[in-house]
Amino acid sequence: MARLADFIDRYRVTNGKHFRLKDYDPADTRGVKSKQRAEELLREGTQRLSEMQDKLYAQDRWALLIVIQAMDAAGKDGLIKHVMSGVNPQGCQVTSFKVPSTEELDHDFLWRTTRALPERGRIGIFNRSHYEEVLVVRVHPQILTSQKVPPPLVTQDIWKERFEDINAFERHQTRNGTIIRKFFLYVSKKEQKRRFLSRLDEPEKNWKFSAADVRERERWDDYMDAYEDMIRHTASKHAPWYVVPADNKWFTRIVVAAAIVDTLDDLKLEYPQVDPIKRRELAAARRLLLSGDRGGKGRTSS
Ligand code: AMP
Ligand code: MG
């Protein structure tokens, strides 16, 4: 029977040199047929995640950044909700990146993501990220104009330069204790159509539908080329991409949960050790509590 750890290697890209999207199947479920088994696996994943997050927070040394990228309707929001369901909200920060504001456009393209990075001890989730800068902006290069980059700096090499800068940024973060894991939820064009139609057909899903999404869909092939090139240039050992099959939402969730659990496992997290001074402090506090509250009159709350 499949274990959680079995769902990672197949989808992890640590070196993008020979990466091709067509080697991956959005409908893959790696032989897991029963949804019930999938739910058990996810429950196991979220349980372990919750335990490890508690230690991560207590230690206050490492941070974990989870980057999620995908085409519309691939299931980003639901994924975040399900995978993080057991996690203490205090230790977790979700940031959604939309079309940049005027203030954001007044800065370099990594400014807003840098500001949203998780603090030590926290898990940060980027729902879209700095990678939009080599995806939507690449598919619609006219967006570059609104970014106000001085024209002599916008050359043929701009995408290559952005990949380099993203890699340097991620290496810098890694070297300072922020672990980065990146997930591309790979949905098929056919499944996206099905999900768009259900957004139109079901009143409680209407709000999720945006006409712009259908226009982006027309550029599907350009987006896939951009995703492929992005993974080729930005997959690394320290900040790998996971190409996660996304036609079955329950499967997407297991893969992502497994990858996060595996990542935190590698940190061998433990609660901080109490040193002798702290131990004496704890012992003194215990004595004080047990000796009864002498001095001030204990006030009751009425
Ligand atoms: P949604 O996630 O569906 O709410 O949509 C957010 C929209 O913001 C998407 O269409 C993204 O492509 C767009 N977006 C996010 N980041 C950028 C960016 N850096 N430049 C331009 N558009 C962006
Ligand atoms: Mg959308």
Which regions of the chain does DSSP assign to beta strands (E)? 12-13, 63-70, 92-96, 123-127, 178-186, 241-245
Confirm whether pTM is higher than 0.75: yes
DSSP state of 101: P
Across the beta sheet with 241-245, the strand order is 12-13, 241-245, 178-186, 63-70, 123-127, 92-96
Report the distance separating Cα 96 and Cα 251, nearest Å.
23
Residue nearest to atom 21 of ligand 1 (CA): 99
Report the separation in Å between the CA atom of 272 and the middle of ligand 2, taken as the mean of its atom positions: 42
- 133 CB within 6 A, ligand 1: yes
Q: How far is CA 268 from the centre of its chain?
A: 21
- 132 CB within 6 A, ligand 1: yes
- 24 CB within 6 A, ligand 1: no
Mutate to test the pocket of ligand 1, among 132, 142, 143 (most ligand atoms within 8 A of CB): 132
- 143 CB within 6 A, ligand 1: yes
pLDDT in tens, 214-232: 999 999 999 999 999 999 9
Mutate to test the pocket of ligand 1, among 115, 128, 131, 214 (most ligand atoms within 8 A of CB): 128
pLDDT in tens, 229-279: 999 999 999 999 999 999 999 999 999 999 999 999 999 999 999 899 999
Residue nearest to atom 23 of ligand 1 (CA): 99
Report the separation in Å between the CA atom of 72 and the middle of ligand 2, taken as the mean of its atom positions: 5
The end-to-end CA distance of the chain, in Å, is 59
Look at residue 78 and tell me whether its pLDDT is greater than 60: yes
Q: Residue 241 class from Cβ within 10 Å (0-12 exposed, 13-18 middle, 19+ buried)? A: buried
- C-alpha dist (Å) from residue 5 to 123, 194, 301: 20, 31, 52
- 97 CB within 6 A, ligand 1: yes
Residue ranges with CB less than 5 Å from ion ligand 2: 72
pLDDT in tens, 41-76: 999 999 999 999 999 999 999 999 999 999 999 999
